[in-house]
């Protein structure tokens, strides 16, 4: 139940009110206090409560509302939301969302008041798997890098539930300069002795060992890097590039199995982190992985630790690549 209650402290797809305002000088303007509060939430955030995930919150083109796209570290659990001024009061704010779960859908609304540029409180109502629920909510921006959403007096289908707190930590944007540094570390020829940590149909079974080769070539203009990876019976081709809007390094990868994987790379303390989603040839989600990369000071050793989203402390495998040439 607590996993479900996490949705109370995070947000999903907007319920469209169907109202529009004329774009003229007499159109209502968002009160400055409300705008500054919302602006504090814009950015990319990691969330823990107790589920783990990531959300990207950004202004719409007209700077009238925040859209919030959230992905829990489970393929079947995500939601989207909209945060906006209520259009009539000096401090009113509304958050509307829909959450898609593996077993059902949650739809909710928050009606609240902005107390200051860094705090908000309100009342939440929602429908969770056909059951009515409610709670109180309090949002506090601790500083530019963290905010919390506390849910208290949580009632689901008439039953009291434990309070819950979601902690959001800002993800530092990856810059173009970071991408250039990444490419210099990544490019060249590498070799590694690998052992499969799980069964892979058409490739091998858990415990199989093989020699893997990795060859990355940076484009002449430095805008992308192409890699060819040979791993025993399998191969893949990767294209990495910098996305200046998302402020992240993105990867598209074609595998010999017919599957396709999509990844983002970000600079993190001590190295780099890759989040991967793999889609099978038939369109099914084949799973998600996290790769944590570190490079030796001389650039000749590259260590990769593999884990699952939400369980990063449980290392599934560790691979060490040795540079053959640059």
Domains 2-170 and 176-325 agree in fold: yes
Ranges of residues in the chain with a pLDDT under 50 are 1-24
pLDDT at 23: 44
pLDDT at 12: 35
- CA angle 170/51/71 to nearest 5° reads 65
What SS3 class is residue 223? coil
Sign of the C-alpha dihedral computed for residues 29, 34, 36 and 42 taken in this order: negative
Domain ranges of the chain: 2-170, 176-325
User: How far apart, in whole angstroms, are the C-alpha atoms of residue 288 and residue 284?
Assistant: 12
pLDDT at 202: 60
Note the CATH number of domain 2-170. Answer: 2.40.128.20
Residues 6+ apart with CB under 8 A from 228: 214, 215, 235, 236, 237, 238
Write out pLDDT tens, residues 28-54: 789 999 999 999 999 889 888 877 788
Where would I find the beta strands (DSSP E) of 91-178? 92-100, 105-116, 119-128, 131-143, 146-156, 159-161, 164-170
Cα–Cα distances in angstroms (integers) from residue 194 to residues 1, 232, 235, 318, in the given order: 40, 9, 14, 9
At 174, list the tokens.
Answer: 């990856």
Residues 6+ apart with CB under 8 A from 277: 75, 261, 262, 263, 285, 287, 288
Phi, psi of 70 (to 5 degrees): -120, 135
pLDDT at 41: 95
pLDDT at 203: 65
DSSP string, 23-72: SSTTS----HHHHHHHHHH-EEEEEESSSEEEEEEEE-TTSSEEEEEEEE
User: How far apart, in whole angstroms, are the C-alpha atoms of residue 130 and residue 132?
Assistant: 7
pLDDT at 20: 44
Note the CATH number of domain 176-325. Answer: 2.40.128.20
Q: Which helix (H) or strand (E) holds 186?
A: helix 176-186
pLDDT at 75: 53
Token match 């890097």: residue?
225
- CB atoms closer than 10 angstroms to residue 73: 19
Write out pLDDT tens, residues 166-201: 999 998 889 999 999 999 999 999 999 988 777 766
* HSE toward the beta carbon, residue 174, CA cutoff 13 A: 24
């Amino acid at each position: 139940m607590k996993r479900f209650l996490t949705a109370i402290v995070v947000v999903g797809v907007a319920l469209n009110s169907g109202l529009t305002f004329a774009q003229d000088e007499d159109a209502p303007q968002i009160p400055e206090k409300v705008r500054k509060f919302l602006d504090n939430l814009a950015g990319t955030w990691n969330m823990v409560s107790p589920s783990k995930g990531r959300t990207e919150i950004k202004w719409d083109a007209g700077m009238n509302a925040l859209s919030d796209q959230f992905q829990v570290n489970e393929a079947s659990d995500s939601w989207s939301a909209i945060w906006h001024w209520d259009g009539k009061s000096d401090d009113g704010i509304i958050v509307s969302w829909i959450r898609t779960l593996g077993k059902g859908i949650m739809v909710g609304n928050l009606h609240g008041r902005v107390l200051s540029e860094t705090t908000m409180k309100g009342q939440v109502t929602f429908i969770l798997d056909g059951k009515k629920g409610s709670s109180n909510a309090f949002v506090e921006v601790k500083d530019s890098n963290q905010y919390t959403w506390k849910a208290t007096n949580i009632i689901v289908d008439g039953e009291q539930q434990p309070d819950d707190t979601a902690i959001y930590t800002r993800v530092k944007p990856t810059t173009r300069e970071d991408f250039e540094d990444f490419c210099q570390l990544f490019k060249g020829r590498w070799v590694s002795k690998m052992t499969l940590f799980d069964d892979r149909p058409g490739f091998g079974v858990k415990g199989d060992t093989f020699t893997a080769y990795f060859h990355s070539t940076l484009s002449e203009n430095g805008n992308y890097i192409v890699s060819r990876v040979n791993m025993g019976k399998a191969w893949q081709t990767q294209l990495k590039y910098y996305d200046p809007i998302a402020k992240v390094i993105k990867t598209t990868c074609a595998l010999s199995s017919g599957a396709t994987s999509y990844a983002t790379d970000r600079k993190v303390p001590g190295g780099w982190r890759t989040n991967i989603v793999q889609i099978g040839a038939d369109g099914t989600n084949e799973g998600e992985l996290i790769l944590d990369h570190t490079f030796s000071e001389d650039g000749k050793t590259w260590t990769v630790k593999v884990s699952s989203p939400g369980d990063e402390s449980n290392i599934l495998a560790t691979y060490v690549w040795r540079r053959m040439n640059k």
